[in-house]
Chains A and B, each alone.
Chain A
Amino acid sequence: MTIGATFGRDADRVSPVESPWAELRRRVSGRYPRDGFGLDPQVSDLVAPVLDLLVRVHVEGAEQIAPGAATLVMNRGLGVAEPAALAVAVAREVGRRVRVVGAPDVTGLGGALRRVGAIGSSPAEIGAALAAGHLVVVPLALTWLRAGAGTPPLELMQAITSFPVHPVGVRAGGPFGLAVRPWRVTIGEALERDESYPAGDPLAAADVAEAARAAVDALLHGTVSG
């Protein structure tokens, strides 16, 4: 795609921020792209340094992420902190944006989260994002204050079986789950796929879901290194 089509901003790769005056001029003149999911790469790039300051991360296994579409299945304690930590980790180590599943269907809030990379929680959304070559983050169910991996969203797993699936463990750096030290983000190897299943098979989805949950759990408990 030409510079004229995207105005120098990419929907998949993080771009450096220009001077505040240049960014403002770009905004006022409409010279910024959007993507179909609602991502606003300029806003996303402007938010990234702030997030980088607020959410400190220590990353292991970033080299596991190959170019192209893939799914990162991650644990989640209270909700937004872990996906934010993973987004910062991937942007810093790989230079790519992540599409986090779970944009709420609420006017204003949904649109705002989509501007920074969230997508809807449905197989159609995940399938479209993967088909477009993006890195999709599928959070497991909330575990609140309990350590470990939550339940996989089975209804979504069918959409990801044709693409590489990486387990990701995200742990708070401090004691008792407090983020007083950098978050520890561990990205695991892509899960092995059982090629005997046809694409989109529900049993394959259930297998992938269970394998991903177990792999995330292993990363969190340190029994597997990234």
Chain B
Amino acid sequence: MRVLVTGMGGELGTRVAQLLEERDDVTEIAGCDFVPPRRRLRRAEFRRIDPRRRERLRDFVLDFAPTHVAHFGVYEPASRLSPDDASARTELATVTALSAAARTGRLEYVVVRSGLEVYGPRQNRASIPDESVPPAPRSPYGSSLLRVETVAAGLGRRHGVAIGALRYAPVVGSHVPSPLGRLLRLPVVPVSATNDPPFSLVHPEDACRAMVAALVHGHDGPLNIVGPGAASPWQAVRLGGRIPLPVIGPLWGAASRSAELLGAAIAPHVVELLRSGRTGAGEAAAVLGLGTLRSTQEVLTDLYEWAEVVPLAAAQASAA
């Protein structure tokens, strides 16, 4: 198995590369991103390429000629990039990398990162959508994810390649750059004054295990990857010892700008989650043989558990 990991510089992409390095059936691993990997890689080859440099990206993929692609080159708005940049890079990375991989003629399987955002705001008629619920995104990120799925599916049909799409619940962890995680760690967090809807999360390690399992199983079609249980904005904020700030409809714009000034930009899909909730169901754990996933409440607890910074001088004094 020759695996290409796009978006290898992100927390998830790097960890997936590490997990793939441990497998004997993966003969070669190559990856690219516009930022370097976040951990040490032993076997994987990394090339720093901005998706906007399409020729470089195309040539890199053509040279490597992957049999499998783990497409993490999907950028969440307000995570590391502005919403416009994230959308543009996602589109370029998807079209360029996947079409180049298909042109080599060796491609067997592609799995793309997607998200529950494709289902749009939580609906009364399907509050926990499974994969059979038709996507109806309302946020730019949801539309971007659906576009990634559509491009990949089109490529799969043209070239006879199986395509998997992992629709992740928000991936949140203490070391993962995520707009939701950053927002929940502000001292004061905006929440809906009129609604306290449930939302689910998935642990970064489970997200990575799911990606590797999808590559191994070659599952064709979408799968929701969601941690069991749910939280709600008010409950999550209080669990972290933060102060909830009730916000009503017209004031969400002002709340978003204030949060951005405090260092946690709120993208529209995060506002959608806070106001309408976001959950999902499915058989992913059984289909991919993932065992038990960490629950949403455990993911939240993990988010708030930061390693304490202990000044060296003070630590030495207390040890003496």
Contacts and interface: CB of A to CB of B under 8 A. Distances in A.
* Pair from one complex: yes
A5 B295 contact: yes
Is chain B's binding surface mostly helix, strand, loop or mixed? loop
B247 interface: no
Nearest to A29: B238
A30 B229 contact: no
Interface stretch (B12-20, B92-100, B121-129, B155-163): B121-129
Contacts of A127: 130
Nearest to B231: A34
Contacts of B234: 30
Contacts of B170: none
Nearest to A36: B279
A35 B238 contact: no
A175 interface: no
Q: Name which of B127, B132, B298 has the most chain A CB atoms within 10 A of its CB.
A: B127
Q: Name which of A5, A36, A104 has the most chain B CB atoms within 10 A of its CB.
A: A36
A128 B239 contact: no
Is chain A's binding surface mostly helix, strand, loop or mixed? loop
Interface string B208-234: 000000000000000000001111101
A36 B128 contact: yes
A120 B197 CA distance: 14
B198 A30 contact: no
Contacts of B241: 29
A107 B124 CA distance: 10
Contact of B198 (A2, A36, A103, A122): A36
Contact of A108 (B129, B130, B194, B228): B194
A120 B130 CA distance: 15
Nearest to B298: A5
A40 B198 CA distance: 9
Contact of A125 (B125, B228, B301): B125
Nearest to B238: A30
A107 B194 CA distance: 8
Nearest to B235: A30
Given A4-B298, A34-B198, A128-B281, A120 B125 contact: yes
Q: Name which of A38, A111, A132 has the most chain B CB atoms within 10 A of its CB.
A: A38
A60 to B, nearest CB: 33
A127 B127 CA distance: 11
Interface in A179-200: none
A132 B200 CA distance: 15
Nearest to A114: B127
Contacts of B298: 2, 4-5
B310 interface: no
Nearest to A39: B198
B200 to A, nearest CB: 6
B6 interface: no
A31 interface: yes
Contacts of B238: 27-30
Interface of A: 1-2, 4-7, 11, 27-38, 40, 103-105, 107-108, 110-111, 114, 119-122, 124-125, 127-128, 131-132
9 contacts: A5-B228, A30-B234, A34-B229, A36-B280, A36-B281, A38-B198, A122-B124, A128-B127, A128-B281
Given A29-B239, A33-B229, 9 more contacts: A1-B228, A4-B298, A30-B236, A36-B229, A104-B124, A105-B125, A120-B123, A120-B126, A132-B281
